[in-house]
Amino acid sequence: MDGSMMGIERISAGRKRLSLRMLAAFALLPFFGSVCIAAEPKAMGGAGMPGGIGLEPRQAIADASIPLDRGLFYSVYRVVRGDTIGAIADRNGITTDSIVSFNDITNTRAIRTGSFLKIPSQTGVLYRPKKGDTVEAVASSYSIPADSIFEANQLSRSSLEGVGAVFLPDARLPSFRLREINGDLFRWPTWGGISSRFGWRTDPFSGVRSFHNGLDIATNMGTPVRAAMEGRIRETGYSPTFGNYILIGHHSGYASFYGHLSSIGVRQGQSVALGQQIGLVGSTGYSTGPHLHFTVFKYGGLLNPANLLH
């Protein structure tokens, strides 16, 4: 079954095209706001709308014959079972980045059947300027010509102060950001059975309830342990709890920790690639048998590794 095109909405008024600044204004509304959306009234109930805004469907358009012009507009797509953002993007001849940025998607694995997506007619990124941003600075960080931003958004000055959102034609999201959104940031540091999950548990030695700040992966002694993400070795050492351990610092505040190793194969300050072997599974420290204790931090806060590994 294919997803149904719920309607099409043009950012244009009659034959007069509105500027992309108008698009930006629309895009800032929780979901379309006042613009006209075509839909089957029942299907559009409102409950499944991102942002939780109920829409009053006004007319069924479902008119794929509306001619494209050079302006940017978007259609509305209803997600069906089995859809992925990548497949939807491919079918529409645009990049995943476009759909992600137009819909403020932070986790592509969490898109739900029945939810609605804006499908822009052009490839590019919808960008929300930060304080002090200029067209030139944004152009440079996305490696696109500044002129294309001026033109697409009909901007006349460099400062993006007070501009809600700008369309960056043909821009791609930083690959790191895309991996993060796609849930592809981390890879399993080793293979084995999960012997203890993240969260509260009864201590295997003392029987006392305690918080387990990582994931335990049980496997054979000497199995390679690999960097779960590229980064730089921040620390290696020995602790009575975690035995031989390695701490890797990554992009964007992420860090990962590997404990109970039988050997450490890297040194502090060394850069490591994703998947590079850094040590071997062991049972050093406070451990009942060979396993890897794996913890992930973001800006010092704990994350549940199970949510990051797929």
226 binds Zn ion per the rule CB under 5 A: no
Whole-number Å distance between alpha carbons of 94 and 198: 38
Q: Quick one: 9 or 216, whose CB is closer to Zn ion?
A: 216
Stretch that binds Zn ion, among 127-135, 178-186, 247-255, 286-294 (CB under 5 A): 286-294
Dihedrals φ, ψ of 305, to 5°?
-55, -30
Least distance from Zn ion to the Cβ atom of residue 253, Å: 22
Which residue of 216, 257, 279, 281 would you call a contact of Zn ion, by CB under 5 A? 216
Stretch that binds Zn ion, among 21-29, 30-38, 208-216, 275-283 (CB under 5 A): 208-216
Whole-number Å distance between alpha carbons of 262 and 280: 6
Stretch that binds Zn ion, among 59-67, 217-225, 261-269, 288-296 (CB under 5 A): 288-296
Stretch that binds Zn ion, among 108-116, 146-154, 168-176, 214-222 (CB under 5 A): 214-222
Least distance from Zn ion to the Cβ atom of residue 63, Å: 58
Do the Cβ atoms of 79 and 117 come closer than 8 Å? Answer: yes
H or E element at residue 149:
helix 146-153
Residues in region 291-310 near Zn ion by CB under 5 A = 293
Interface characters, 163-202, with Zn ion (x: CB under 5 A): ----------------------------------------
Whole-number Å distance between alpha carbons of 264 and 259: 10
Report in angstroms the alpha-carbon separations of 53 from 24, 45, 56, 108: 18, 10, 10, 21
Least distance from Zn ion to the Cβ atom of residue 300, Å: 19
Whole-number Å distance between alpha carbons of 189 and 245: 13
H or E element at residue 235:
strand 231-239
Judged by the rule CB under 5 A, the positions of this chain that interact with Zn ion are 216, 293
